[in-house]
Amino acid sequence: MTKNKFRLITRSDFDGLVCAVLLKHLDLIDDIKFVHPKDMQDRSIDVT
């Protein structure tokens, strides 16, 4: 697989949790951040 690891920013609903588990199992992510969509709209989450 790839050596680059990513951060997943997702909702804390069932879909977000399943995606987080699958991507973590594939060793593609090293950080998971569960956020509310309103926080993304208000730009209170730092995405780099």
pLDDT in tens, the chain (48 residues): 558 899 999 999 999 999 999 999 999 999 999 999 999 999 999 888
Q: Is residue 16 part of a domain?
A: yes
- Residue 1's pLDDT is 54
Q: Are 33 and 8 in contact (CB under 8 A)?
A: yes
- Residue 22's pLDDT is 97
Q: Is residue 22 part of a domain?
A: yes
Domain count of the chain?
1
Domain extent at residue 13? 6-41
Tokens for 32, please give them: 């998971």
Q: Is residue 46 part of a domain?
A: no
Q: Is residue 1 part of a domain?
A: no
